[in-house]
Structure 1
């Protein structure tokens, strides 16, 4: 591609020498340390054009001096500025992708927009049977919320649109948008989505994150095929996603789902009843305490599923997170009969796939058990990995056989 020149009339953000290469390479985050100068005329939330130290156009982005990510990048073509039409085209492309994948339909639960992976850094759009829930994780998206809502109305005409956010991210980004219903009425009664032939109840008025863990959709089916006739323990089960797949799709003889949330367990029980599942039961108890108690009691299972919450949100705590993953997986392995199946997951994006596998190596060595990885899996297909932004690959799911 020929070198592009800066565009007149758009504030400029000049990069330091040797800092532009990852951004020429289409990584969407320009950190504070990358900049030599940002035009004072550009307020936080405004569009800027990034320019290399030799004056070459790099990309269009949105500036936010309050964030460690001083600019989020969205277009690497000088002829494609960040207009309202640009944002609409990006949303349309993401939604069309889900349609082509067969995920977007009347009773669907799917992620329509996955932030950087869909070229919309800082925006997540989840769809639940006609209702839309937004996560605004960047000032760039908060400033364009009206444009996003208008485009979604034109593209899919949702029954309702609600917005949510995470306190830590909002503080880091200087976001002020509060959890709210932006349009329509979020149902106070349960709604239902269909996933792999199983119906799940959702409470959009108070569910975790945007209401349901969509990222394990394909992993639930993949794991289920190993469970025929097996006694299965599903730890951190939330509303029973893996449990019901194991019981209904996998033909498990018995499934025990454990979660520390009373509300989640009640939801899991209702989901089981709705789907006519009688070979699964659920208990509300601290999952970490339960693992230890089961090991101390000498309990044994033919399969153990470990899908714990995120153990770290920062790089500073990686070592502590790895110790936690080791501890949980060591106990899971101790509960398995020879030839048992271990399904173990990590949603901590700062823990690499390699580090997670090395944790299993440590478990194998300390337990004296052979662990064979049968499948290495990632997030569902509506959570794609952008090759120029490896941070979009956060979920690890290993299906293992333990001798």
Structure 2
């Protein structure tokens, strides 16, 4: 299919315009009276209300249920290479509001809707980039976007990805390749919170790591001195290793991923945390629910329990199931804590609101007849900003509480 040089107008159904007047960027197919099935993926379109009034400009993907992603609410703005590259430059500048570039560190450079670039995620690890496209329509600009990122950030290597699930929904092929074939075989080493971390940009998950939690790792570690810590869904050890560095008496880490456990063990050695100067460690492969149940039945206890489970709610239909899962895992964690113990509990489910998450903890305390005193109510690091017009970007909750 060919692209029209002028935006194609598409109308909404009656009374469907209100989210977009509030600048929400997602237009699902069921909201449109004209669905644009015959248009090319990446065609620029103008969104109109049912009466024909102009609302916004975006890109269409006729293969996706998320039919249009909106990028501009100014009819005078032309969407071309310069438009998207300017948005990337603005996102990079936004990161520098909190400090100078740490060339050895890591940060999220572009965070999709939060940086007004729906469908693009970019993470920087030292001098390498992990780039993930989650919008098929945006791949029309893939070449100039990648070239600009590599040049602007002086990247030694750029890993480009679109995972299998996203590709299926967007009607495209999966992506998992190095830009221009410049492959980096070894893990990329970067520093975070005083630790040397490693990321496998080719074989790892998404864009490589979970940078949104890094300040929460540091905040939680301040409470761990002298404590016996259980790190549940520990992945590669972000919470537990920093707890160890800050004086934890011991750290037990559990995760269902064998590669993640192996990465955690390697990180312990890489950072010299396996010496007598630090507490003991025990990292093992296990299902989080099964292991928590086993530890409870064995009447074991810990001075601190950290919960960082994967996303339980991928869409609005899974919220009730997710809340039951959060209630269950937090109740089992509370059962392992003596009075005065510390619970660090997280949710990365954007469909679960902060209010819902706190109400879940309230219910856990009521059912277990325990008082939970919230010490900190946290979100992601500032390189994961929140777009006020897109509540789904306020996804990460991290509560640090003392359990009495």
For the aligned pair, the TM-score class normalised by the smaller chain equals over 0.9
CA-based RMSD of the aligned residues comes to: 1.8
CA contact (8 A) 1:142 1:177 kept: no
- The CA deviation string for residues 54-111 of structure 1, in whole angstroms up to 9 with x for no partner, is 3332111001222222210001111211111000000011111123323743212111
Pick which of 67-76 and 260-269 moved more.
Answer: 260-269
Question: For the structure 1 residues 280 and 99, does the alpha-carbon distance in structure 2 shift closer, same or farther, using more than 3 Å as the test?
Answer: farther
Aligned to 2:309: 308
Q: What SS is found at the alignment partner of 1:61?
A: strand
Q: What SS is found at the alignment partner of 1:179?
A: strand
After superposition, residues 71-86 of structure 1 pair within 5 angstroms as 71-86=68-83
Q: Which runs of 5+ in 2 are unaligned?
A: none
Aligned to 2:64: 67
1:151 pairs with 2:148 = yes
Q: What is the alpha-carbon distance in structure 1 between the residues aligned to residue 324 and residue 36 of structure 2? A: 45
Q: Which runs of 5+ in 1 are unaligned?
A: 1-7
Runs of 4+ in 1 over 6 A off after TM superposition: none
Q: What is the alpha-carbon distance in structure 2 between the residues aligned to residue 81 and residue 158 of structure 1? A: 29
Aligned to 2:393: 392
Question: For the structure 1 residues 80 and 200, does the alpha-carbon distance in structure 2 shift closer, same or farther, using more than 3 Å as the test?
Answer: same
Q: What SS is found at the alignment partner of 2:180?
A: strand
CA contact (8 A) 2:57 2:72 kept: yes
Aligned to 2:184: 187
Q: Could you tell me the TM-score, scaled by structure 2's length? A: 0.93
Aligned to 2:198: 201
CA contact (8 A) 2:35 2:62 kept: no
Q: What SS is found at the alignment partner of 2:34?
A: strand
Shift of 1:209: 2.1
1:260 pairs with 2:251 = no
Pick which of 118-127 and 37-46 moved more.
Answer: 37-46
Alignment: residue pair count: 395
After superposition, residues 326-337 of structure 1 pair within 5 angstroms as 326-337=327-338
- The CA deviation string for residues 251-295 of structure 1, in whole angstroms up to 9 with x for no partner, is 222222222222212211221122222324132221322211111
Q: What SS is found at the alignment partner of 2:41?
A: coil
Shift of 1:395: 1.1
CA contact (8 A) 2:176 2:202 kept: no
Aligned to 1:270: 266
Q: Could you tell me the TM-score, scaled by structure 1's length? A: 0.93
Shift of 1:380: 1.6
Q: What is the alpha-carbon distance in structure 1 between the residues aligned to residue 292 and residue 163 of structure 2? A: 29
